[in-house]
């Protein structure tokens, strides 16, 4: 059985005070994490601080993005995979739709980042998902297949997915309050798993596929109850400790 993962993507939110209050509240309510793994992905400037606050808690840390070049060098404004590891990150979100649509990240850039993350020992949370007009014109699977195939065609390829996570985030559901129905999400999750199974059934069987897009305490259990939904990537609701904790509990009981 795949262990559920609930990861909070804090996006560009927080301050030193807000971050310490949020982590404090999370840690005091977190409870049993045996069946569900919990991770938080703060903005870069707070990673070190959050790493210290989380020490010994079992809650994992992740970055929200990283440079497509590994190592070190003249890349002003960038953060390397190795720096994320150095700060205690286990995960890194790659190819989030906000990176793709607002900052022009292409499938190839995401694939290069996937290689760099794999080499550095970071577990990538690779985001895929279609825009509203792509869904409405029946192209959901075509878009998700293209995004996945870039990862499968990277150097790390399907083997890299043995230590990675996929997040299906329909772009029309992100921050809109419009959640995919459990059936809509399950259909795409099953498609993702099948496409990867065509390369390596064992890796596909063990791969965690998270759903993201307006997940709330009220809809989490139903989503996480689907056979191919292994947890969630949570945006807005991850900034409210009680709501996020309730989502983590839903991953515990909903499966």
Report the interface residues with ligand 13P, using CB under 6 A.
Answer: 9, 96, 169, 174-175, 212-215, 233-237
* CB 175 to ligand 13P: min, Å: 4
Cβ 254 to ligand 13P, closest distance in Å? 17
Euclidean distance between CA atoms 196 and 128, whole angstroms: 14
d(CA 110, CA 184): 25
Strand partners, 4: 36
Name 191's Cβ contacts closer than 8 Å, sequence gap at least 6.
141, 144, 145
C-beta of 39 vs 152, nearer to ligand 13P: 39
- Contact predicate 216/224, CB 8 Å: no
Residue 76 β-bridge partners: none
- Helices then strands, each counted (H, E), the chain: 12, 8
Coil/strand/helix, residue 9 = strand
Of 82 and 169, CB closest to ligand 13P: 169
**Catalytic annotation on 169?**
yes
Task: Kindly name the residue from 123, 169, 189, 252 that is annotated as catalytic.
Answer: 169
Q: How far is the CB of 244 from ligand 13P (least distance, A)?
A: 10
* Nearer residue to ligand 13P within complex by CB, 150 or 215: 215
> Annotated catalytic residue: which of 96, 123, 243, 252?
96
Closest residue to ligand 13P, based on beta-carbon distance:
235
Give me the least distance between CB of 214 and ligand 13P, in Å please.
4
The residue among 116 and 247 lying less far from ligand 13P, judged by its C-beta, is 247
Residue 82 among the catalytic residues: no
Any idea what DSSP says for residue 179? P
Q: What is the DSSP string of 205-216?
A: HH-EEEEESS--
- Positions marked active-site: 96, 169
């Amino acid at each position: 059985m795949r262990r559920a993962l609930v990861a909070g993507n804090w996006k560009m939110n927080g301050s030193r005070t807000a971050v310490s209050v949020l982590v404090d509240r999370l840690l005091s309510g977190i409870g049993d994490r045996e069946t569900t793994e919990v991770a938080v992905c703060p903005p870069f400037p707070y990673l070190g601080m959050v790493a210290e606050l989380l020490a010994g808690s079992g809650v994992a840390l992740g970055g929200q993005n990283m440079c497509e070049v590994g190592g070190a060098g003249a890349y002003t404004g960038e953060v390397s995979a190795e720096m994320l590891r150095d700060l205690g990150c286990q995960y890194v979100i790659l190819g989030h739709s906000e990176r793709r649509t607002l900052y022009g990240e292409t499938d190839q850039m995401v694939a290069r980042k996937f290689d760099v993350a794999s080499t550095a020992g970071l577990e990538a949370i690779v985001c895929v998902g279609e825009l509203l007009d792509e869904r409405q014109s029946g192209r959901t699977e075509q878009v998700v297949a293209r995004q996945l195939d870039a990862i499968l065609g990277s150097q790390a390829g399907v083997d890299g997915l043995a230590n990675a996570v996929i997040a299906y985030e329909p772009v029309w559901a992100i921050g809109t309050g419009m959640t995919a129905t459990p059936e809509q999400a399950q259909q795409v999750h099953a498609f993702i798993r099948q496409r990867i199974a065509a390369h390596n059934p064992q890796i596909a069987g063990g791969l965690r596929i998270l759903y993201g897009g307006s997940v709330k305490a009220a809809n989490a259990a139903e989503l996480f109850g689907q056979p191919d939904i292994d947890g969630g990537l949570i945006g807005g609701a991850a900034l409210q400790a009680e709501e996020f904790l309730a989502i983590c509990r839903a991953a515990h009981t909903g499966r």
